[in-house]
Homo-oligomer: A and B are copies of this chain.
């Protein structure tokens, strides 16, 4: 275990995370406890427990069909490939911070020969979301659009509902398949005050994730029309993603969803309480402020390495733990970390926050 992990494990008042860090043995015991013994392992994508879960999530998002996949990377590439082939157009439009662009070794190019259209030249979006105008100004109709809600690399920002509808309408009018990167879609209900099916209903296909917010081990689902999911299953085979069994991921995702989903709106409220206190300090910047969901970016003045060390020292003294690491930014002397408010945040003692920050920033 790293020093930071050890410190995290010893602190009693911890902001990030889903409960204490668990060893594999604990994880398997917990999974076993969550099952009643009647659940069989799925085999090559077939099985009652798996298909009931797929049906449940598809219905939650108002889609006819779903397929459980090992990862979102796989799910989204499959969606983009299918849509672009159907559009007979190998170009895609997505934010330059979209997952396929910055975290997948350009697989959409290497495996699929897809190409991303740039939003203006040079493409300087900074920390802002895409607008209807950005799409209208592309200069070429893309074969598919990928929209991430919330934009994780932008601190969990969400477009206003009207803007979202406007982008949806533009895609619909131009007959462009509209795909939702819903890795963290669970967080969005509170901001929009809509049901998941209303958000999902705007998109032709939806990807959702079962770790991150939901605390599962791993795994994703791709949701859409029957024929779309049938085609996705061919690609699942091609990717080597139709595993002999996905049982552990399926069970942990389903159990995680049952435990966690009812909490998420309260995480968002807790996030705003945390952000409000952080905002009282001149050396801190919260983005967006107030947060739209249960994540946000926290900018901290001072050398990131020194400020991280200082945080750990105070955590050791006080038993309060806020962050794993400050990363450098483009601005010298300014560090950044993402704050994620999950299960632990609900137990976090808010009264400890100001005294901790006063010490840290002194």
Which A residues are within 8 Å of any B CB, using their own CB?
1, 22-29, 31-32, 35-41, 49, 69-75, 77, 103-107, 110-112, 211, 217-218, 234-235, 237-249, 251
Partner of A28, one of B35, B74, B110: B35
A-B residue pairs in contact (CB < 8 Å), sample of 16: A23-B38, A24-B40, A28-B248, A70-B240, A70-B243, A73-B237, A73-B242, A74-B240, A75-B240, A105-B235, A107-B237, A111-B111, A218-B243, A218-B245, A218-B246, A239-B240
C-alpha spacing A186/B46, complex, angstroms: 27
Shortest CB-to-CB span from A105 to chain B, Å, is: 5
**10 tightest A-B contacts by CB?**
A73-B240, A74-B240, A107-B238, A248-B248, A71-B240, A28-B32, A25-B35, A28-B28, A28-B31, A218-B244
Please indicate the chain B residues that have their CB under 8 angstroms from the CB of A74 in the complex: 239-241
Given A71-B241, A110-B238, A245-B217: A28 in contact with B29 (beta carbons within 8 A) = yes
Please indicate the chain B residues that have their CB under 8 angstroms from the CB of A24 in the complex: 31, 35, 39-41, 49, 247-248, 251
C-alpha spacing A243/B40, complex, angstroms: 23
Please indicate the chain B residues that have their CB under 8 angstroms from the CB of A241 in the complex: 70-71, 74, 239-240
Please indicate the chain B residues that have their CB under 8 angstroms from the CB of A112 in the complex: 111
Partner of A37, one of B25, B242, B244: B25
C-alpha spacing A36/B111, complex, angstroms: 41
Nearest residue (CB) in B for A48 is: B1
Shortest CB-to-CB span from A244 to chain B, Å, is: 5
C-alpha spacing A203/B107, complex, angstroms: 28
Shortest CB-to-CB span from A37 to chain B, Å, is: 5
Given A71-B240, A107-B238, A238-B107: A32 in contact with B29 (beta carbons within 8 A) = yes
Given A23-B39, A243-B70, A243-B71: A238 in contact with B111 (beta carbons within 8 A) = yes
Shortest CB-to-CB span from A146 to chain B, Å, is: 15
Partner of A217, one of B40, B103, B248: B248
Shortest CB-to-CB span from A327 to chain B, Å, is: 17
Please indicate the chain B residues that have their CB under 8 angstroms from the CB of A240 in the complex: 69-75, 77, 104, 107, 239, 241
Q: Which of A24, A237, A246 is most buried by chain B, counting CB atoms within 10 A of its CB?
A: A24
Q: Is the CB of A105 within 8 A of B234?
A: yes
Shortest CB-to-CB span from A68 to chain B, Å, is: 13
Given A31-B28, A217-B244, A218-B244: A239 in contact with B107 (beta carbons within 8 A) = yes
Please indicate the chain B residues that have their CB under 8 angstroms from the CB of A239 in the complex: 73-74, 107, 111, 239-241
C-alpha spacing A238/B107, complex, angstroms: 5
Nearest residue (CB) in B for A47 is: B24
